[in-house]
A and B are shown apart, each in its own frame.
Chain A
Amino acid sequence: MTVIGGGIAGLCAAIAARRGGAAVRLLEAAPQPLRGGNTRHGRNFRLTHETPLEHVPDRYTADELRAELRSVTGDGTDQVLTELLIERAHSIAGWLIEHGVHLQPPGTGVMPYSRRTAFPLGGGKAMINALYATADRLGIAISYDSEARSLLRAEDEGWTISVRSAGADDSIRTRSVVVCAGGPGADPAWLSDNFGSAAEGWMVRGTPYSDGRLLDLLIAAGGCAIGDPTTCHAVPVDARGPQFDGGIVTRITSIPLGLVVDRSGARIDVAGAGSQPTHYAKWGPKIAICPGQIAYLLLDAAGLARAAPSALAPVTAPNLGELAAALQIDPTGLLQSIEDFNAAPVNAARPIAVPPFAAYPMRPGLTFVHYGIKVDATMRVVQADGHRHDDLFAAGMIMAANVLRRGYLAGLGITLSAVFGQIAGEEAARHVRG
């Protein structure tokens, strides 16, 4: 069987299928140093537990997870899949540890206290490295730099995948396919089609390889789409960062400490965004509707001293006039906005008064799209006519919209991908072995 995509979902599918007795090939579109999809940028994953464990304190029950999921997604999620996710979120940490992943004990380093999530030691890429080493040891054939270009139903049974591998075209016959190629969104053309010309001002926080090509292929092969291709999870990121793969470090975290203006110098605010981590997801879409999809966070020296560091040093100037010039913002509008703001600062902010002054140019950073392929409880792709192939599966962010119609919970991406990846791998192995 063949797994397409080498992030956490693909690795879990491949390992589960191999342990289930199947011969497994894994196609990863990225070159080896950039392997692992968006799991490279993951920090923690959500898990349920009734008692404190070595890698997570306190307790977090299935009922709590169910309630929190419902509070962000509302109605309309697939109840069967949601229950599967909740049930398996209990065993995920043990499974990962068993397959070579090291988790960071609570209270070490500077991790925030979290009873809902566990942290891989060294972060997502370290976890990915461990799982690749395990996959290799189990005899899974891993091909990097290998992009599935087409997916065709074979005459008798199984599938033919045409693969572009390191520039050369190849064709693979396989009895079963598990597609774990990530959600759409990293392809600029796909973004423009769904978000219009405004998408030109967007940045993609994750891997450029999660480009939606496989989603298009699945839909072209009769698969049923699910969710809304025009809604996404987006947060403010540094406009000077890389177009792709900025990950966690370009996220601008100190909006509650300052004032945001657009490129005309007019103040921008999000009513009720507050200072909680949830404010990120409210600000991303807000910046997306600013002229040119750009906004500027202004801080004074005192605000900057309270801000957490981010990857790139802010633009600084000794006075507001020079700051406006450096940012190419109309100084009159900017000074007026600051005057109004200083009269009544919001959130945790204080008046912007102490030089030197600092600014972060911000753009919307796309994290993931609430759109994907519909699957059933065995992760088989559901066709538009209700029929399903018994040898075509999908897992991971490409089908996350079955559960996550809207919103997001911290650490859910990895959990969801790992859980559904495992199920897809188990089912595919069962099918292949008859």
Chain B
Amino acid sequence: MSAADKMSEAERVLRICSACMYCDGLCPVFPVIDGKHSFSLSDVSYLSNLCHNCQGCWHDCQYAPPHPFAVNLPATFAELRQRSYADHLWPPALGRVFRASSLAVPATVALALLITFGLVLDTDSSALLTAHAGEGAFYRVLPWPAMAGLAGGTFAWAVIAVTLATLRYWHTIAPQVTVREIVRALPAALSDIITLRHLGGGGPGCHDHDERTSQRRRILHHLTAGGFVLNGLSTIAASAYHHLLGVVAPSPVASLSVMLGLVGGVTMTVGAVGLLALEARSDREPSDRGETRLNVAFLILLALVGASGLAVLGFRSTPAMGLLLTTHLGLVFGLFAALPFSKALHAPFRAAALLRVAIDSRRRTLARAPEASGDTP
């Protein structure tokens, strides 16, 4: 489908949904389209990221194929979500890279691994397969300036690029919002963001495959995202030890940074592998192949980062340490480098959509006037 075709398909489907509204209790998408006759590009950009892809509206839809209306909102939104990422990337030239994201992400990670291994071999070609122990052992594999430089550089790039893309997206979906409104709506929005309430499909949960519901995806997502955050905290703790306390890595096992990394690594790896398993069993019809590829690429990367981090911890006193550490660091640098054109974008974009919906619901003082329910067939 061309971009124009996707847009007119979205308008066709959303018009039917807006006339129906039987799904209004499933998620915030439906109340937003209530009563709307037409949908702009910014509307669908907003709605597609407000959708958490729980697929409740696919299983509950009396107009899904083989009905002639052939309504498939999850697939329609999945396509539009990718367009919304591509349209708002920073720098804008990344849009082209993003269209080949399922290639670009692995290629970026491979390049990062290559550079990291190159630096290690350039420093000391025997470092990869020699046991290192004691204070500063990690830096005998990859010297501190190179490690800090690559880590800091890729991290800063990820933060800047993702932040600017998110701001561009926010400008599209919420052009006229005051700071005061944002602050007022923040508690409600944060609660929705952190709890992933809308993966609950209005209560029963979401559909992993077929019409049964479960909380599996929500739990696995919490593990993955929570693990990701703990790993970040672990890194911060390690650099605090280094710079503030003068404790040079590797830190002792009982230290805060290792504990955070251990728990974070396990939960992120388990979560990512679990989400991959769900992805493998998921229904193809209400999804989009492009989005599935994005999901799979990102989840594999997270699982590899988590598993390699745990391997470093497990084998850090053996000759395999150098090889494992280099691999782990390369994967981490690759993850940060690829972050701005990966599935990771869904997090800030969905957070922005949830913030807007919280702002709008504060604005909406009155729901629709009470009226008798119409005739039901």
Contact = CB atoms under 8 A, between A and B. Distances in A.
Interface in A60-112: 102, 104-105, 107-112
B59 A129 contact: yes
A367 B377 contact: yes
A124 interface: yes
B37 A121 contact: no
B199 to A, nearest CB: 15
A353 interface: no
Nearest to B27: A109
B203 A102 contact: yes
A206 B375 CA distance: 13
A102 B202 contact: yes
A121 B373 contact: no
A381 to B, nearest CB: 25
Contacts of B22: 43, 122-126, 248
Contacts, number: 164
Given A113-B370, A129-B60, A309-B35, A277 B19 contact: no
Contacts of B63: 247, 249
Interface string A23-52: 000000001011000101111110000000
Interface residues of B, number: 45
Contacts of A205: 377
A251 B377 CA distance: 11
A121 B62 contact: no
Contacts of A107: 367
Given A110-B367, A112-B370, A410-B375, A121 B68 contact: no
Contacts of A280: 374-375
A286 to B, nearest CB: 16
B373 A309 contact: no
B373 A122 contact: no
B300 interface: no
Nearest to B65: A33
B31 A410 contact: no
Interface residues of A, number: 64
Interface string B209-246: 00110000000000000000000000000000000000
Nearest to A367: B377
A33 B60 contact: no
A41 B203 CA distance: 21
B311 to A, nearest CB: 42
Given A40-B62, A281-B375, A121 B15 contact: no
B64 to A, nearest CB: 7
A343 interface: no
Given A33-B66, A205-B377, A413-B377, A102 B204 contact: yes
A44 B373 CA distance: 9
A344 interface: no
B371 A112 contact: yes
B361 to A, nearest CB: 12
Contacts of B146: none
Contact of B376 (A44, A104, A105, A132): A44
A2 interface: no
Contacts of B36: 309
Contact of B18 (A45, A235, A242, A309): A309
Contact of B37 (A125, A277, A309): A309
B178 to A, nearest CB: 26
B51 interface: no
Given A33-B64, A104-B25, A206-B377, A249 B372 contact: no
Nearest to A206: B377
Given A110-B30, A309-B19, A410-B372, A122 B60 contact: yes
Contacts of A313: 15, 37
B368 interface: yes
A209 interface: no
A411 interface: yes
Contact of B25 (A119, A307, A414): A119
B315 interface: no
Contact of A242 (B56, B60, B68): B68
B288 interface: no
Interface in B322-377: 367-368, 370-377
Contact of B374 (A34, A102, A277): A277
Contacts of B377: 38, 41-42, 205-206, 247-248, 367-368, 413
Given A114-B372, A277-B373, 10 more contacts: A107-B367, A108-B25, A116-B373, A122-B25, A123-B22, A126-B60, A133-B211, A309-B19, A310-B15, A410-B376
- What 5 A-B pairs have minimum CB-CB distances, sorted nearest first? A123-B22, A109-B24, A122-B60, A104-B25, A126-B60
